[in-house]
Amino acid sequence: MSKQPNRLSQTVNECRIDRTKPIQFIFNGKSYQGYQGDTLASALLANGVTLIARSFKYHRPRGILTADAHEPSALVQLGSGSKCEPNIPATTIELYDGLEARSQNCWPSLAFDVMSINSLFSPIFVAGFYYKTFKWPAKFWTNFYEPIIRKAAGMGELSGKIDPDTYEKAHDHCDVLVIGGGISGIMAAKSAADSGAQVILCDENPVLGGQISDGKPPLEEVSGKGPLVEQVETLLQLRDMNNVRIMPRSMVFGWYDNNTFGVIEQVSDHLPQPEKNQPRQRMRKIVAQQIILATGSHERSLVFPNNDRPGVMLASAVQRYIRQYSVRPGQKAVIFTNNDSTKKLVNDLNSAGIIVSAYVDAREDITSDFSDIQCSNILNGYVVDNVHGGKKVQAVTLRPCNGGPLKKIDCDLICVSGGWNPAVQLLAQRGQKPQWSENYQNFLPQFSTGEDFLCTGSLAGLESTRDCLDHARLVGEIAGKRISGNTNISLEKLTSITTTKELETHNTGFFEVLSDKGKSFIDLQNDVTRKDVELAAREGYRSVEHVKRYTTLGMATDQGKTSNINGIATLSRSLNKPISQVGTTGFRPPYRPVSLGVLAGRSRGKHWRPILRTPLHNWVYAQGGKFIESGLWHRSQYFPINGETMAQSIDREVRTVREKVGFCDVSTLGKIDLQGPDAATFLNRVYCNGFAKLPVGRSRYGLMLREDGIVFDDGTVTRLDDDHYFITTTSAESCSIVSHLEYCHQVLWPELDICLADVGEDWAAIALAGPHSRKVLSEIVDNLDVSNDTLPFLKAVTTTVLGGLETRLFRISFSGEMAYELFVPSQHGADLAKMLMIVGEKYGIAPYGVEALDVLRIEKGHVSSELNKFTTASDLGLGGMMSKTKDYIGHRLSQRPGLIAPDREVVVGLLPLNPKHSFAQGAHIITTGTSATAENDDGYITSAAWSPTLNSYIGIALVRRGRERIGQIVDIVDPLNGKKPVTAKIVSHHFYDLENTRVTA
């Protein structure tokens, strides 16, 4: 195990690591040591490991570029077994004991990757090459080209196993949400909290403070009482305030409507194992009144030849590794910059014992004072012409901008700074178009202030610590005042700070070195080079959005955070158009990749959606009944006995109902209680048939239309009392009907005096059907004459059964047999079922499920699946129910020519000439002798079943001009499933008991 050769001896200022807690970890099968507080990246650098991965397309050696979450190169495969996870930036992985990680996209090893041969073919693999190649021969694509490309593509691999971790979700509310826990965010949060507002402060890092991470300011601040030391105290105060919640390790990934934010909290990712019952991650939805964005800015690199070699790092990253992790990323460094932010780095490098071989500033005419830089080789007006070395930087060649001799300097570390990009992504998610600032040479928010948000810190363009703190304090005060209800707040002071600072700033617009000495990368993660963007421009792409898609610039997991601006600058030069006109691409959530597991939360496996259970559920289970999903319900499907198959069970259940007696759980029916003096009027308006004269104690079938005249639902209405009705609906439409009726009541006719209540949960419902149903019924009712004279078809009574159990008893049939529907209080549903079995045993009673129910209703010819959102009442053979004397919803539009055309598809029955020939729902109808084409399509099967009653397969179909074609022979074709056509005769869809003698017996 190595002993961290690049770990600096203990310094006063290291703040992230705890040397008293060493940690062992494994990278590519080799053991290393780090410390608690390290990231995988810092620990690897401390151990002298700079080669981390291979790039996406060219399999070039890659190291660590940043110290941030948007690291484009050092992506590793983390963990093993079912916890294996690909494409994790090493810079985000908090080290823990036993951590295992390995390089990805390399074979057989990181050091020797066979696929690096791709580099030889780079002239072919330019941007958009897949639009121009692999086209011939065409048949090679499916069997040869595509499998190879798929095999080669992608980074990392999934385990293929079930994720063993749990994920949670939570909802939070606050007055002020501060996004970003750097110095500006901390100050803004404190300022807002001082006003009494409830504040949430989020930061994606484990330690807040940005530059002052965890309370230890940088070197130059230790002795003084500078602004950063003040912030240390502010952070400590924040932690003690009751109205402040600090959420570290919480990344705000999306800004949604109504100021709802999606946040991912890493709960236990940094632990070797989650604690028992502890989730891995939590997704929070935070709703805020005011938002303060202090998301900071990202340093960008520069584009020069071989700028992707391990050892090329962002200057700010080098600084952080030295200051926060006590890591020496190299021995001899060259700084390549175009701005003054790298000056302090020289002192950090010196203090870390790193030789500063050269300070290369690309600006030719600069007024900066370099006297405070302790470097003997300051080169203004020079650029990096090439980087030497393969798996590691070994030297750079420098070139004067205005021509002149080249200089080659040995080094193993290049610290690059091309400027800073404000993190505008969240604002762009809300539709803002970032605006180019010539002074800052970056994209600023289009609007830094709004009614409910304020930007501060470097996001607002501010560059100095003092400016950030002053601005943030003011922003926090304003947010606090807004929460207090003060709407008359001037933002003039706020905007004057940012405007003045912008005018005072004149950053240099230098982005790229024009040299052909090697590949100059813009997007490291997708291997997009400067030449790719130039090629796109030559090939006619003008829009930055098109160039993005054509080259894949900015389409990797870092979403262009390290590449966008440089790519835009290259495009700007290629198009000879200023950057302000080229613009930038848009941004969508998530801000950084989020795991699918946390988005799913608890909604996985059995719990991916709610399961609804009827009151008879446990009883059905105890009987050995099988369940089927019907929407969210688990309904009893069939009740096999003695090893029956499903088909055998259904046949038996159907015959039992036809010949003896059976009962079915119909508790899923929608049930609505309607009361009030205007209840009859209301019913008359919502149903197409009449209800005004429905007598008390009677039921009636009701047909409800949509406003457009299409059938909405069919159900029943029972009049329990003068102003009291009980409505049933189909199970599938129960929620829709309740909503519809509420809409009618509250919006269309608020003047009607009615009350509606969804009472579906209050009642269990059982359909008792069959020739012996009356006998069974007579043995459970209390003192009720159930003869046909007293309880004829469609009669309804409120009574009791089983010695006092309140029951609503309706004589209604869906099966085509003598039948009753019994509604009892829901928690007694199972009792009723048990007693029916006991009482009905001597009559041969058996329960039946929805499969048998469907066969029975198909035999009878009741429509069900024919209500498919396209059919009219007339199509269904129910046109006679449409009243001609009253108005009702759907009345007018049901008369549209298209809905009354004579050639519409209408409900008919189908009997195969060979009763044993089956056909499926969805099969199509064509005239015999014609071919199965769309032109010959005459309709389709809507219901199909084997009928044990008729000893034949039967079906209901929607057939063009169907009623005119009764008796015609047609073919039922099912080309999708490759079945042979079935010849059948068009018949009435009422296959059984046409005269309704059994129903009314």
Partner 1 sequence: MSQLNTLISQHPLEGIAHTGVFGKLSKTYPGVYFETPPQRKIIRLMPFREKAHAVNLILQDLYSMTMPGTGKFSQKDNLTIGWSAKNRWYITETPNSDTVSFCKIKNALSGLAAISDASQGLISIIIDGDDSRALISKGCVLNLSHFLPGDSTPSLMAHTNVHIYRLSESKFEILVPASHVTNFWEWLCLSAEEFGFQVTFLDQKFTEITENFDHTIPFEKLDKAT
Q: Which residues are near partner 1 by CB under 8 A?
A: 166, 168-173, 198, 275-279, 285, 287, 602-603, 606-607, 609-615, 617-618, 621-622, 633, 673, 675-677, 724, 746, 753, 755, 757, 759-763, 779-780, 782, 802-805, 825-831, 835, 839
**From the CB of 791, what's the least distance to partner 1, in Å?**
18
- Closer Cβ to partner 1, 749 or 793, answer by number: 749
Tell me the β-bridge partners of 808.
Answer: 798, 823
- Please answer whether residues 57 and 528 qualify as being in contact, where contact means their C-beta atoms are separated by less than 8 angstroms: no
**From the CB of 288, what's the least distance to partner 1, in Å?**
11
Tokens linked to 196: 């009494």
**From the CB of 274, what's the least distance to partner 1, in Å?**
10
Question: Of all helices (H) and strands (E), which one includes residue 19?
Answer: strand 18-27
- Closer Cβ to partner 1, 123 or 610, answer by number: 610
Strands 281-293 and 260-266: antiparallel
- Please answer whether residues 716 and 813 qualify as being in contact, where contact means their C-beta atoms are separated by less than 8 angstroms: no
Sorted by sequence, the CB contacts under 8 Å of residue 94 that are 6+ apart come out as: 37, 38, 39, 206, 269, 270
Q: How many CB atoms lie within 10 A of CB 723?
A: 17
Sorted by sequence, the CB contacts under 8 Å of residue 491 that are 6+ apart come out as: 449, 478
**From the CB of 624, what's the least distance to partner 1, in Å?**
11
**From the CB of 723, what's the least distance to partner 1, in Å?**
8
Nearest Cα to Cα of residue 683 among 734, 614, 756: 756
- CA dihedral over 293, 294, 298, 299, signed as positive or negative: positive
**From the CB of 265, what's the least distance to partner 1, in Å?**
13
755: phi then psi, degrees, rounded to nearest 5: -130, 130
- Closer Cβ to partner 1, 567 or 760, answer by number: 760
Distance of CA 359 to the CA centre of its chain: 47
**From the CB of 845, what's the least distance to partner 1, in Å?**
16
- Closer Cβ to partner 1, 810 or 940, answer by number: 810
- Please answer whether residues 728 and 665 qualify as being in contact, where contact means their C-beta atoms are separated by less than 8 angstroms: no
- Closer Cβ to partner 1, 153 or 757, answer by number: 757
- Closer Cβ to partner 1, 670 or 962, answer by number: 670
N residues, the chain: 1001
- Closer Cβ to partner 1, 150 or 276, answer by number: 276
**From the CB of 486, what's the least distance to partner 1, in Å?**
20
- Closer Cβ to partner 1, 755 or 994, answer by number: 755
- Please answer whether residues 46 and 515 qualify as being in contact, where contact means their C-beta atoms are separated by less than 8 angstroms: no
**From the CB of 278, what's the least distance to partner 1, in Å?**
6
- Closer Cβ to partner 1, 763 or 810, answer by number: 763
Amino acid at 194: D
Nearest Cα to Cα of residue 261 among 347, 349, 341, 170: 170
> Rounded CA gap, 986 and 983, in Å?
10
Give CA separation, 724 vs 9, 657, 698, 791, in Å: 86, 32, 12, 20
> Rounded CA gap, 39 and 95, in Å?
5
**From the CB of 779, what's the least distance to partner 1, in Å?**
7
Give CA separation, 15 vs 10, 219, 299, 340, in Å: 11, 11, 22, 25
Through-space distance between the first and last CA atoms of the chain, rounded to whole angstroms: 91
Distance of CA 681 to the CA centre of its chain: 45
**From the CB of 171, what's the least distance to partner 1, in Å?**
5
**From the CB of 422, what's the least distance to partner 1, in Å?**
32
User: If you search the block for the tokens 């699946």, which residue do you land on?
Assistant: 865
- Closer Cβ to partner 1, 355 or 752, answer by number: 752
- Closer Cβ to partner 1, 321 or 633, answer by number: 633
- Closer Cβ to partner 1, 198 or 211, answer by number: 198
Strands 167-179 and 199-202: parallel
- Please answer whether residues 221 and 229 qualify as being in contact, where contact means their C-beta atoms are separated by less than 8 angstroms: yes
